[in-house]
Amino acid sequence: MSYSKSLFTLFISSGLSYAATLSVYQDKTFYTYAPNSQFIGLTQHVTAKCEGNTIDVSTMLDCPTEQRLCKEVETLETLVKKQKVIGYNESLLEKFVSLPQPQSINASEWIEAAKALADEKATIFSTQENIIKERKILEKRLQKQAPNKQAMQTASVCQGELELIIPYGYVTFSTSYEANIDEKSITVTQNLSILNRSGIDIEAGKAMFYYRRANPYVRAVHFSPWVVRKYEPRKNRMYKKAKVSTAPRMELSMVADSVAGAVMPEPVVSYEDAREYKITNLSLPSTGVPLEVQVQTWKSALHCDIKAYPYANTKAFHVCSFKPKYQIDVNSWKVKSGSEVINEHAVGEYAHGTYNLYTKIEEDIKIVRTPIVKKERETGIFGGTARKKDGFTLTVTNKSDKVKTLTLIERIPTSTTQEIKSKLLSVKSKTKIDYKLLKDGKIEMHLTLSKNESKKIEVLFELSYDKEVKVSY
């Protein structure tokens, strides 16, 4: 069965209410549905609107036991009660032990009583420890799922559509990319990860996810004339030194999201526009674990090269270039070749109409860059012009048993004034070097190294300037 047919089958088989909608932005979330009770969820700071009119949200005295999160709260409360009962038992046992002692002592009876008391105390201690451990586990799990232990409700049951405005950080999403590359092509898979820890179990027939704010502030701009005036020097003004405030500084706190992996049913996902996604048939319970869904997969032609910028970093690296069929939203990648993982944290960027993906370091290429002429040394003065030669050598070694082809990007100084001139004198090696001098002093060299081969390249340039001028570069 094709991918589109399987998605259609999943869509038809859903039992969700298609009236419910979800819109997730970078600053807040809107959830609209038709409620059948006053219960909202184990949440806080939520605004509710019934048919467009704001209604009151308050705390419920009793959390409905049929609700999933309420069952977890009930289990936690039962443990708290057990812990208190064990504490009372321990206190009563201590009181029995401290009762007045009889005048006559039967040694065997005392020994049996002591054993029974010790055994009961050990049982109480062990039970109490287990309850404390279990309680901590449940509390941690509940904190990951909901920001509040108390259930929230509306003032009355909304007879129409109820819209919940959920604060930032309770429902979040992120996109990620996986690249599978071969010699000539790249297969890009875009994934969406959705996390709900709002305390509200969400089911939506249509869910939209936007990489933008719901209420961006746009400042109005009006025309103002550009006025030329007669120059008048400004008068010096006297300013009093401001007093240092001793008031305490305010600190901002942010909601932290817990992330863990989980297997969830795959909903129907579509790419709507750049940084905009739609999911139908979405079931998103507030579990605090991400729902992972695949957005789309596409292929593109690929060209890979080994590059190095020795003036900045003597490490060579692999860079693969391609033209994306869709806009790339984030620049963090997982790169594979077949089943082999090349890099789980690769970086990419747009450049000159293409997208460059920096896949890995080329460990078999070693580059050493050393200066030729000390910068303080001037090579001559002709008339009123000083001329200074400078340069560097590059020693490039292929340590592997395979032929390596790479591109070196180097530079010579470039001048922004007519008073200082710079020119390339030579790029020399024992064998001819294929190079180009581009604008801004950029030198692009293409090398092919046989196995275990080493090449030494000498780059010389000259600066000319008035002998009274001091230069730095």
194 and 150 share one domain? no
Residue 55 lies in a domain: yes
Our CA angle for 177, 294, 334, nearest 5°, is 20
Q: How far apart are CA 159 and CA 205, in angstroms?
A: 19
Q: Residue 87 domain-assigned?
A: yes
In a domain, 143, yes or no: yes
DSSP letter string over 103-164? Answer: SS--HHHHHHHHHHHHHHHHHHHHHHHHHHHHHHHHHHHHHHH-S-SS-EEESS--SS-EEE
Residues 321 and 452 in one domain: no
395 and 439 housed in the same domain: yes
Residue 408, exposed/middle/buried by CB under 10 A (0-12, 13-18, 19+)?
Answer: buried
Q: Do residues 408 and 306 make contact, with C-beta atoms less than 8 angstroms apart?
A: no
Report if residue 398 sits inside a domain: yes
Digit-by-digit pLDDT tens for the chain (473 residues) are: 444 434 333 333 344 444 799 999 999 999 999 999 999 999 999 999 999 999 999 999 889 989 999 999 988 888 888 888 887 777 777 776 676 666 666 667 667 767 777 777 788 788 888 888 888 989 899 999 999 999 999 999 999 999 999 999 999 999 999 999 998 999 999 999 999 999 999 999 999 999 889 988 888 888 888 877 766 777 766 656 555 444 333 332 332 333 333 344 457 888 888 789 999 989 999 999 999 999 999 999 999 999 999 999 999 999 999 999 999 999 999 999 999 999 999 999 999 889 999 999 999 999 999 998 654 445 555 567 888 899 999 999 999 999 999 999 999 999 888 889 999 999 999 999 999 999 999 999 999 999 999 999 999 999 998 888 888 88
Domains identified in the chain, total number:
3
Same domain, 370 and 357: no
Residues 300 and 319 placed together within one structural domain of the fold = yes
Residues 402 and 442 in one domain: yes
Task: Provide the token pair at 391.
Answer: 């340069």
Is 432 found in the same domain as 373? Answer: yes
Together in a domain, 302 and 387: no
Domain span holding position 458: 365-466
410 belongs to a structural domain:
yes
C-alpha separations of 156 from 51, 57, 126, 330 in Å: 13, 9, 46, 43
Query: Would you say 460 and 389 are in contact if contact means Cβ atoms under 8 Å apart?
Result: yes
Looking at residue 250, what DSSP letter applies? Answer: P
Which CA distances in Å does 67 have to 62, 70, 286, 472? 11, 5, 12, 72
Residues counted in the chain:
473
Is position 30 within any domain?
no
The reply to whether 179 and 295 lie within a common domain is yes
